[in-house]
Structures are given as C-alpha cells and as structure tokens.
Amino acid sequence: MLITMNSVAATCNIIVITDPSGEDPNGAAAGSMSFAENMFQSTFLMSKEKGFVVLSGGSSSSEMRLDSIVLAVADLENGASAATAASVASQYSGSRLVVGGPEMGAAVAGSFSAYVIVVNEADNSISVTPYSGGLAVLQPGEKGAIIHLRNTAGNPQYGTADGVRKETAMNIGKMIRDGYPATTILAEAMGEVAKGSGEKYGGGGVNIISGISSGDMFTPSELNEKGYPMDEAYSKSCDECGWALGFPSAENHDSCPVCGNTELTTIYAYEALDKTITVSSDSVSVSIYGSEKPGLAATTSEIVKASVAKYGYDSNKIAGSINKGINNGLLVGVNYVEPKDINVKENSKAVGVYFTTLPGDKSSPSWNLPVDSFSLNILGSIQTVIGIILILLVIFRDRLLKSFQKR
C-alpha cells in the first residue's frame, strides 16, 4: 500500500469560532482541502465530548504526521491547551497541526503560512495578523479564526495563495463581525479559496460543537485520485419541497420528480458542505433498514427530508412520498411502504424507514453518487454512540485508531 500510494497533505486548513461559550450549535467549525491527490490522508479528528478538532498538513511524511496527531490528541485528552497540543508539530520537520475548539480557542504550529483573525465584540473591530512558522494562537474567549493556505506544486494557479489567504482572512473577519454562523463562514471561505487559489479538492469540514462531519462526501473513493472540487456543482435541489440529487445523476434532471415541474436549483460543493454541517430547525436524521442496495439510503433520505419540509413529521405523508419515489423509478428493488413502516421521532428530528426487499435480482440503479450512503449511515451511528469521535480520512486509519486507544 505504501509503495503504490502518493503522499499528500492539506494545503488549506481553516478553523472558525463565532461562539467561544460553546452554546451556539453552529458556533465552531473547521475544515481542510488541497489541490493534491488522496485527500483522505488529511485527517480530521473531532471529540464531541471534549469539543476539540485536530487538522493536519505539511510536507512531512504520512508517518510523521500521524505520530504528531496521536501526540496532540493525547495532550488534549489530558487537558492541554490548543497551543500546547498544536506545538507538537514543531517536533516533526515539515508537519503542521491546527487545533482548537469553542472554549479552548485555536492554534496552528509547525510549518505554516497563516492569518489569525480576531473580532473584538466591544467595538466590532477586526484584526487580521499574518504568521509564518512557529506558533500562532487565537486565545480562549475570542471570536475569530485561523486560515492557513499554500499552493501545491503543479497547481495551474500556483502563486495565488498569498493574495487569496489575505483576502479570505479579511472576509472571514467581516462575516464573523456580521453574525454569520461558523459553519457557513467555513463553507464560504472554502469556496473562496477553491475558486481563487485552485486548492480546491476535499477534504471537507466539521461542526465542532454539534459533532457533525461531512465525512466522505468530498474525499476520493480511490487511491491516487483527487477529491471532489469544492467550487463545482455537487447536486440539484428543489426549492419547493427540498428534494435533491447528487451529480452526475443530477445531470439527467431539470425538474423535481416529487413536485412535478418545479425547476431544480444547482448546489455547489461548498454550499452542500454548509447545508451538511449546519444545524437548522428543519434538520432531519434519516435511518434506513431492511436493504443495503446501492443508492437506496441516500435517495430515500432526500425524499424523507423533502416530505418533512413540506408536510411535517407525518408518517402517512412520508410513506406516500416514498411510494411516489418507487413509482417514479427513483427507488428500485424495494416494496411499497406503509405508515407502520415509518418510525417518526419528532422530538429528536429523526425518521426510520423499514423496507422489504423485492424478490429476485432486482436492484437499485447505479447512482454513482459522490456520497457513500453506507458510510454516511455508519458515521451517523458512530456519532450518537461514541464520546470521542475519530473521523479518519487517512489510509492509516486502523493504525491511528489503535495507537490512540493504546495511549
């Protein structure tokens, strides 16, 4: 595996804190991306229980970055500050760590070119300070952000990082001042960086306070491939009912199959990131049971969310929407559902759907979606069960988990 895999590190790391108290469910977010291949090697580790995130990067080997990450997490678990945990990177030549959380502030250490943004609540003034190497800190209790950005060799937009880093830092400060949630600011900043610098492949992001991750939405499914471009179209959705479908399948749909002739709106990847990690009043958690056919979970989830948005948590309406999806050919290989097959928990904004698989060899169409529905289902389960969440987007994920558990 080591022989056939090209090494990579994130060239863009961002952490945004708009609510240092940790009370706003969208008050802290972080993310990474790069022009390079194998973006699942740039690891997000997030502790829902202790409210921190660790982002990695740099020019060091994967092994060295892995060691620095494990040490940083161990420090944080023992109550270390963001600055202390991030400083671990300085022990490994070429490594970079970005560490932070709503109550601990944030820090970047090792090899980096970054801006620290601070917004003063007293007078709404914004300070944007450049740092290069060593240690840079956003102090606990401060509203602000850290953005690191460098260009990858071979990027056609090489040489743009310095200007884009500064401009994006200033825009992050303005959005914090103007009251935008951290999750939206992160997504907008990643879209800006993607367009301006070409460091655009996911990666992805996390909502630190609410424990939500984009998971494998934007990471490459195969070795030595680039992730999903954060500035390109990701899906189409219906503004009327909320139904959505990812590319490339979305290319075949101009109107909503649920509402009829309603024109679909194109959603770009950075906008999809915002929608995924931002908690809203209409957020719905959908679980699928009874079938593991490819594409079924992702498509059913969109149909259920659209039904809830239009009719509320009504099991009869949800069942009707799903059956309409079966009639339209959006769902294949499963039998019609009845209201008793829909488990609605409105208080927790959750819906469970129980399918019966059709006999024979009938199966779902090949959606070839950028979202792995099985991975998303597993991720959702993990986030509700485990206190310390390891979102491992590295090829060494098994080794990292074992190392962390030993420590």
281 CB-near residues (< 8 Å, 6+ apart): none
Of 382 and 355, which is predicted with more confidence? 355
Per-residue confidence at 283, pLDDT binned at 50, 70, 90? low
Which of 52-56, 257-261, 365-369 is least confident?
Answer: 365-369
Helix or strand run (H / E) with residue 64: helix 62-77
Say which range, 27-36, 114-123, 347-356, 376-385, has the weakest mean pLDDT: 376-385
Residue-level pLDDT at 164: 98
% of the chain surpassing 70 pLDDT: 82
Which pLDDT does position 359 carry in this prediction? 75
Strands 143-149 and 12-17: what pairing? antiparallel
pLDDT greater than 50 at residue 400: no
Helices (H) and strands (E) in the chain, counts: 9, 17
Contact by Cβ (8 Å): 20, 104: no
Tokens of 25: 């469910």
Helix, strand or coil for residue 8? coil
Whether residue 69 is predicted with pLDDT greater than 70 in this model: the reply is yes
Alpha-carbon torsion (16, 64, 155, 5), positive or negative:
negative
Q: Which amino acid is at 267?
A: I
Q: Is the pTM of this model over 0.75?
A: no
Indicate if the pLDDT at residue 388 is higher than 70.
no
Distance between alpha carbon 117 and the CA centroid of its chain, in Å?
22
Average of per-residue pLDDT across 185-204: 95
Q: Does an H or E element contain 236, and which?
A: strand 233-238
Identify the pLDDT of residue 396. 38
Angstrom distance (rounded) from CA 171 to CA 190: 12
How far apart are alpha carbons 266 and 253 in whole angstroms? Answer: 11
